Chain A
């Protein structure tokens, strides 16, 4: 049984915009899955349909085997949603928000209070439990939405850009928290624009563009498709290189060199060539996140095929 099984999902909005064009997707139980795509690709529409916030036009959705058309309440009970936009009552306290949410799922108040202490504590919000939501910082609001989504202890947690606008320190602590949840057996589906986040956390990935799934594979397999990586070498100021035998390279400024390295070549050869020219390398890094390069490549390939 899959945690999520989507088949032939279509959505045409009342204005005629076709957001999803027969979208299929399967997410294994216990997976940490990245659903990526450019803005307007259909990610939020898909999540909206899975969580009953958007009415589908065609197709089927099963959550842990429960069809949303036949067993909607059982399907909903399995899912916790962390939406992209803040959607809690700004005038309620943190504790009221999470305890009420638990109540909507039938969790008795005494149990809800215990869970509130647990999840708000784990997300460093317990001290703010009596503060009104509008008094929280942006990062705290994001964590509040995660705590709220966990109050009924769902089997499937869907996070729609949970770290948008969050500073790197907090982002990393959220990654750690999500990894722990996944290790406890919770299936996680994540959408994000920080591709480093997807690469670091997720085992499997789906890339959606213009309402269609253009890639659905494991992160490992996807990354192995990357044939060329660009590396940046920091050199002493005033360095100059015209060419590097066997490699495409360019000087960005008088102390920065970019070199395209094919998977078959290896970095040793680059260092040997630099050594031959008496160039000292001060430091080195990837130009861009590997997944980011692949993502751009896949999306533009798809669009080129279309045109």
Chain B
């Protein structure tokens, strides 16, 4: 099979995914804008004004990158988890399994859809934040690279979750019990330097710490961890999750009997 066949197949999967989440925009694009507006009002304006500075910036400026990243993480993950599981549930994943589409294209297609939603929601939340605080841009390349890699990583996570899931409950367990706590404890609302040594060391096991900090560096130029460490961690997670997803699809786990 030649490369143009794969390119068309990839484009078809990604455009199908984009059409899906834009068709249900009230469920996919509006809620993050409302939720983040509430975070900005409550944590940024009302409570933040009493907290004072953090890392040399106002509390509002400090939490904005983390909140954008939180939206990107949640949306990249849940887009792929719900879309892929829905394909399994309605059995239309068979449309792809019978076609001459290599497994890596299937993964790239669904991940591409998750990344598209993650980035679009990230952009919407960034625009909403402009109503509350002027956005600083310290290094646009770092911002772009971090947000892209993070959405790839969590889209892969959502895919793996959907492959293992047997019921709709199974795709909400990980976001509720793993993703949300890791995000809240990932330095979105505070600097790691506020923690004691033990909790700082423990926080560094949390991959979201690296993403939030790299992203914050892109906006404000401050970070609790080095950029090199952040990118190394994110890349290692992406490679690990990709190989895991590839193995599952290749062996047909939950897809082929």
What is A's interface to B at a CB cutoff of 8 Å? 13-14, 48, 51-55, 72-74, 76-77, 79, 81, 83, 85-92, 96, 99-101, 103-109, 148, 152
Distance in angstroms between the alpha carbons of A74 and B102 in the assembled complex: 11
A52 and B97 within 8 A (CB): yes
Q: How large is the interface on B (under 10, 10 to 19, 20 to 34, 35 or more residues)?
A: 20 to 34
- Interface 1/0 per residue, B1-13 and A, CB below 8 Å: 1101110110111
A103 and B12 within 8 A (CB): yes
User: In the assembled complex, which residues on chain B have CB atoms less than 8 Å from the CB atom of A108?
Assistant: 8
Distance in angstroms between the alpha carbons of A76 and B97 in the assembled complex: 9
Q: Name the contact of A55 in the complex, choosing from B4, B12, B102, B257 (C-beta under 8 A).
A: B257
B90 and A88 within 8 A (CB): yes
Distance in angstroms between the alpha carbons of A104 and B102 in the assembled complex: 10
A13 and B257 within 8 A (CB): yes
Given A87-B91, A96-B19, A104-B257 contact (CB < 8 Å) = no
Q: Is B92 an interface residue (CB 8 A)?
A: yes
Q: Name the contact of B16 in the complex, choosing from A53, A86, A100, A106 (C-beta under 8 A).
A: A100
A101 and B1 within 8 A (CB): no
25 A-B residue pairs with CB within 8 Å: A52-B98, A53-B98, A55-B256, A73-B1, A73-B100, A76-B98, A76-B99, A76-B100, A79-B98, A81-B98, A87-B90, A88-B90, A91-B23, A103-B9, A103-B13, A104-B9, A104-B12, A104-B100, A104-B101, A106-B4, A106-B5, A106-B9, A106-B100, A109-B8, A152-B99
Q: Which of A51, A74, A103 has the most CB of B within 10 A?
A: A103
Given A52-B97, A52-B98, A96-B16, A107-B256 contact (CB < 8 Å) = no
User: In the assembled complex, which residues on chain A have CB atoms less than 8 Å from the CB atom of B19?
Assistant: 96
A77 and B92 within 8 A (CB): no
Interface of B is mostly: helix
Q: Which of A52, A55, A83, A89 has the most CB of B within 10 A?
A: A89
Interface of A is mostly: loop
Among all A-B residue pairs, the 9 with the closest Cβ atoms: A103-B12, A106-B5, A73-B100, A104-B99, A87-B91, A76-B100, A89-B92, A77-B100, A51-B98
Q: Is B169 an interface residue (CB 8 A)?
A: no
Distance in angstroms between the alpha carbons of A52 and B8 in the assembled complex: 21
Q: Is B240 an interface residue (CB 8 A)?
A: no
B95 and A104 within 8 A (CB): yes
Q: Is B31 an interface residue (CB 8 A)?
A: no
Distance in angstroms between the alpha carbons of A52 and B9 in the assembled complex: 18
Q: Is B52 an interface residue (CB 8 A)?
A: no
User: In the assembled complex, which residues on chain B have CB atoms less than 8 Å from the CB atom of A90?
Assistant: 90
Distance in angstroms between the alpha carbons of A54 and B1 in the assembled complex: 22
A11 vs chain B, min Cβ distance (A)? 9
User: In the assembled complex, which residues on chain A have CB atoms less than 8 Å from the CB atom of B1?
Assistant: 73-74, 77, 106
Q: Is B221 an interface residue (CB 8 A)?
A: no
Interface residues in B1-40 by Cβ distance below 8 A to A read 1-2, 4-6, 8-9, 11-13, 16, 19, 23
A14 vs chain B, min Cβ distance (A)? 8
Q: Is B254 an interface residue (CB 8 A)?
A: no
Q: Name the contact of A105 in the complex, choosing from B2, B5, B91, B97 (C-beta under 8 A).
A: B5
Q: Is B94 an interface residue (CB 8 A)?
A: yes
